[in-house]
Amino acid sequence: MKFTKMHGLGNDFIVVDGLVETIVEAELPDLARRACDRHFGVGADGIILALPSDKADFRMRLINSDGSEAEHCGNGIRVMAKLVHDRGHTQASRITVETIGRINVLDLNTEDGKVETVRVDMAEPIFDRGRIPMTGPAEEEAIEVPLEVGGRTLGFSCISMGNPHAVTFVEDVDAFPVETLGPLVEHHPVFPRRTNVEFIQVLGPAELRMRVWERGAGITLACGTGACASLVAAARTGRSGRHATVHLPGGDLLIEWSDDNHVYMTGPAVEVFQGELI
C-alpha cells in the first residue's frame, strides 16, 4: 500500500490515499501500531485515511499509533486536504471534509499549485459534560474543575472540539511534568473515552504556549484541536482574548474564536516523502 509521510507542525502522519488504494478495515489497528513505530516502522503519530464521502467532498479517518480511532484531528485534516489537492482529486480552494460527527469546511491557500496553509472551520466548541464526554450532570459545564492526579490537584477546563480535551494552565509549561501527568489525566475515570490533555502557559492576551499529551499517541509536537480548545478555555476564563497565536513545540497556529461561535484554525501542511508499506 502506497503512502505519503506528511506533517502539520511536526504532528506527523502516514497518509493513505483511500481514493486510490485498497484498505482492509480489519487490518487497520495492527497496521497503525506497526507502521507508526518509530524504531521498526515508518514512524508517525497516526495513520490518516483520505476517503470518499456521500456527505461532503471527502472523508477523513485517523487511526492513532496505539490502534485506536480518533474523532477529529486539526493537524491531520490540514495534511489530508493538501494530499487530495496536490494529487489532483480537487482544484477547489474551499472543500468540505467529513469526520466523525461533523462536516468541516476548509480554505486552501496555495503557492505554485501546491497547498501551503489551510484555514479550517473547526465548528463550535462543546461545553456540556455529556457531549465531551465526561462524567457528571450531562448538561453541566466543566470549567476549572479540580482533578486529583499524581498527588496534586489541578484545575481543568474540559471542552470538545469534536474530540475531548482537558486544558490546564501552568506558570512554566517547559518545566511542567507533562510526561508524568499527561497519561494520568488521559485515563482519569472522569473521562469515559479518555481525553487529550493540554498544558498552557499564558504569555499575553493574544499569545499562548502549549504542550500536549494526545490520547492514543502520547506527547506530540502539535495538536490542532488541542490548540483550539486551549484558546477557548483561555478566553472563557478571562486569561486571553478570542484571537491568539498558539506556540507549540512544532511551530505556531493562529486560532480565532469568532463572533459566530465557530473556532477557526490556520496552519501549514507539509509533505515529507512517499513510500510503500509491505
Q: How many CB atoms lie within 10 A of CB 5?
A: 18
> In degrees rounded to 5, what are phi and psi of residue 153?
-110, 125
Catalytic status, residue 73: yes
Q: 36, 73, 158, 228: which one is catalytic?
A: 73
**Contact present, 230 and 173 (Cβ < 8 Å):** no
Q: Looking at 36, 158, 223, 228, which residue is catalytic?
A: 223
- The residue type of 70 is A
Is residue 36 within 8 Å of 43, Cβ to Cβ?
Answer: yes
Closest CA to 67 of 98, 45, 43, 40: 45
Sign of the C-alpha dihedral, residues 26, 28, 31, 32?
negative
The residue type of 154 is L
29: cis peptide before it, omega within 30°?
Answer: no
Percent of residues in the chain assigned helix, strand, coil, to nearest 5: 20, 45, 35
Active site residues: 73, 223
